[in-house]
Structure 1
Amino acid sequence: MTARIDAHQHYWRTARGDYGWLSPALAPIHRDFGPADLQPLLLRHRIDATILVQAAPTVAETRFLLDLAAATPSVAGVVGWAPLAAPDAVAQVAALAADPLLVGLRPMLHDLDDPDWVLGDALPPALQAMARHGLVFDALVRPQHLSRILVLADRCPELRIVIDHAGKPDLRAAWNERWAADMAALAARPLVCCKLSGLLTEAAPGADVAVVAPVFTQLLRIFGAERLLWGSDWPVLNLAADYDRWVAVTETLLQPLRAAERKAILGGAAARIYLERRGRRLAGC
């Protein structure tokens, strides 16, 4: 039986002080979240493991998450952060990659003022180091960044890239043809994958299956089940819905698929993309 994996969740401790985006205005999530908060949800939905993703652009937070993961059996891997444009980026990537629980790195691209930052001349050595160490590049982007990620994928064809939250199409309006075209171009690159996550927070309040279904249909068509990874984006998800609601929405979307496709999206793809390249396996995968 394939293990079920939530490929995108967060923990944070606000007193650490490096979550610049996490303001009191985000009241539903402006508090500490840790394993004890998520574990009942994982048990209720029979989720075996998670990929824990960074929420602050600091190496200190990445170390905090790695320590937390080492003490939390449900965490299968950590997507952290490193200063990829720094002069010593290659050494920093190597140092972080020495921890087998690190499975990827994520610059917070959608928070940067310059959408072309990811194409800067300083980045290729760090990106090549990531590929050598079997690390995934998680792309936290908005639609305007997708064309840049396409260039990045062509410049670094050995680097596996995962597009977070389906590239954040604007579901409050109709998701546009530019998003669809750029995602299709990315999907044509075999090492680019995509997360089925974070969509309810891009939609109007109360969004249901009908709102998400066109995006899911497009993603399934262009990436196929083997390159789609289900994730919750919890607890950011709580800004729009809750874990139970997102599980219900996605189970409805996945119900018509073949069993093998559902297993791939719900855990098989995450195990292959994040864990196997780091020499790690979960029971059942």
Structure 2
Amino acid sequence: MQIIDAQIHLWAGENAPSHHGRAPYTVESALRDMAEAHVDRAVNCPAIWDAGANDYAVEAAVRHPERFATLGWFPLDEAADESLVDVWLDRPGMLGLRFMLAAPEMADHLASGGLDWLWAAADRRGIPVGLMVLPPYLSAVGDIAARYPDMRLLIDHLAVNPFEKLPAAAAHLDALLALARHPNIGVKATGVPGMATDSYPFVSTHGVLRRVFDSYGAERMFWGTDITRLSCSWREAVTMFTEELPWLRGRDLELVMGRAVAEWIGWR
């Protein structure tokens, strides 16, 4: 079984937000940790807090194309337009895009239609777009998915606020599960140990995972870590899924642990 982490951040600078404690997190660090955890590949979402992270992502993909692929980002400011999408997709290892839309001003753009040019561009190209959004904006994501059915969306971290613990962390779960009716929405089960109220194997989160699996299925639920903000080991984040969820076995396990995300983003 090939194991592919659906979201990590690589960066070479010293700065990082306080909840991403492994700074910097270099290619060499990731390869060492992946070997220890038996993780074969990882989807790099370049760190938004490091100005050089996008260029570093290209370097990682050029040096290790079999290990790292990228969902990149660019500033969604007044100068951004559709031409940037093609510029980004021409970079080595770049399979799609990923944006953090959790800040109020960006989330308002999401809901108001101010980013429709971006969704239209992704739709025309049939590319994946990752989104970090918070629960109040999930209905807007559903509207976008309905209007642009040829792009594939990935919702980060089950839309869980990384600073919240259960049960508050999953108060929005019904709204997230309602989006499963859109076949072009998938969810990253990333950062899951971070919302747990107990230690490994984080049994407090297992019911949430089962509900997500029952709604989205193995083809649209993607295991991953966001490893630099987790206090557990990468190996524990793997075995939590591969050994501790008795209902996740066989082909379904293979899909959730990597095959599905590779197909979703076109990483052949």
What TM bracket, shorter-length normalisation? 0.7 to 0.9
8 A contact 1:209–1:249 mirrored in 2: yes
Q: Which runs of structure 2 are paired with 1:118-133 in the superposition (5 Å)?
A: 118-133=110-125
The corresponding residue for 1:197 is 190
Unaligned runs of 5+ in 2: none
Deviation at 1:175, TM superposition (A): 4.6
Kindly state the Cα deviation for residue 144 of structure 1 after the two structures are TM-superposed.
Answer: 2.3
CA distance in 2, matches of 1:271, 1:110: 25
Match of 2:41 among 25, 31, 49: 49
Mapped contact 2:190–2:223 kept (Cα < 8 A):
yes
- 1:61-87 deviation digits (Å, cap 9, x = unpaired): 323312222112443410111234544
Q: Which amino acid aligns with 1:196?
A: A
The answer to whether residue 172 in structure 2 is matched with residue 179 in structure 1 is yes
Aligned counterpart for 1:212 among listed residues 195, 205, 210: 205
2:242 is matched with which residue? 251
> Is the alpha carbon distance of 1:28 and 1:121 closer, same or farther for their aligned partners in structure 2, counting shifts above 3 Å?
closer
Match of 2:221 among 220, 228, 243: 228
Change (3 A) 1:205 1:178: closer
Matched, 1:106 2:98: yes
Report 1:116-155 matches (<5 A). 116-155=108-147
Contact kept, 8 Å, 1:225 with 1:261, in 2: the verdict is yes
Q: What count of residue pairs does the alignment treat as equivalent?
A: 267
CA distance in 2, matches of 1:56, 1:88: 16
**CA distance, structure 2, for counterparts of residue 27 and residue 121 of structure 1:** 31
SS in 2 for 1:186: helix
Tell me if the contact between 1:77 and 1:274 (Cα under 8 Å) persists in the aligned partners.
no
Residue deviations 1:218-274, cap 9 Å, x none?
11100001111111211122xx32212212322234443331001100111011001
Tell me if 1:9 matches 2:8. yes
Deviation at 1:130, TM superposition (A): 1.9
Structure 1 stretch displaced more, 134-143 or 38-47: 38-47
Structure 1 spans left out of the alignment, 5+ residues: none
User: What's 1:266 paired with?
Assistant: 257
CA distance in 1, matches of 2:103, 2:95: 22
> For 1:133-178, what per-residue CA distance to the aligned partner results, in whole angstroms no more than 9, with x for missing partners?
3321111122223222122222322221111111116862325785
Alignment correspondent of 1:78: 70
TM-score (norm. length: structure 2): 0.88
- The percent identity for this pair of structures is 22
Which amino acid in the other structure matches residue 153 of structure 1?
A: A
Q: CA deviation at 1:90?
A: 0.3
Contact 1:7 1:232 in 2 (8 A): yes
Q: Mean Cα displacement is larger for which, 39-48 or 174-183?
A: 174-183
Q: Indicate how the Cα distance of structure 1 residues 105 and 58 shifts in structure 2: closer, same or farther if over 3 A, else same.
A: farther
Report the aligned-residue RMSD: 2.6
